[in-house]
Amino acid sequence: MRADVSATDTVLVTGASGGVGPVLIQPAKHRGARVIGLASESKHTALEPLGADALLPRNPTDLKLALEQAIDTDTVSVVADIVGGDSFATAIDRLARGGRYTCAGAIVGPVVPLDLRTLYLRDLTFTGSIAIPPHIFSDLIGYIERAEVKPLLAATYPLEELHAAQQAFIDKQHIGNIGHL
């Protein structure tokens, strides 16, 4: 994870039940961080084995209050966002001074509101996650080989069923990745 997560961090993972979310939760926990995942409540039971310290609704009415109730603080040091869209501003509001925001996708929307004063007055760091240092991928493979991280594969589809795979992705009833054969 580009955010250099360590045991001193509290990490908020948006879209915790998708293809990327579980791969963010597990290494963060492996590094000793406290992790909070946002996902549809119907998926929480399936996500519990990943080890998140708290699982909150995908779009809590009041994220500040939900965090306070779940982890006794209303801020996090890292936001690992794969959702974007309208939830961006809410997640940024919960990022502590000096916090780090890393983006691994924009499944809800790529255009987000950002008041630049929030960035510089709170001394935030923003990173993308597509161009990663080579050791990150090999570290992740090592975690998988040692069973310290378990990739979640919801379903596989042959290429000729691409439309069905896309519909399954859009329906968002799965947990983990959707792949092809």
pLDDT of residue 44: 96
pLDDT digits (tens, 9 = 90+) for 108-118: 999 999 999 99
Global pTM value: 0.89
For the chain, list the domains and their CATH numbers: 10-150 (3.40.50.720), 153-181 (no CATH)
| pLDDT tens-digit profile, the chain (181 residues) | 678 899 999 999 999 998 889 989 999 999 999 999 999 999 999 999 999 999 999 999 999 999 999 999 999 999 999 999 989 999 999 999 999 999 988 989 999 999 999 999 999 999 987 777 788 788 888 888 998 888 888 889 999 999 998 998 888 888 888 887 7
List the one residue out of 166, 143, 170, 131 whose CA is nearest residue 179.
166
pLDDT digits (tens, 9 = 90+) for 23-50: 899 999 999 999 999 999 999 999 999 9
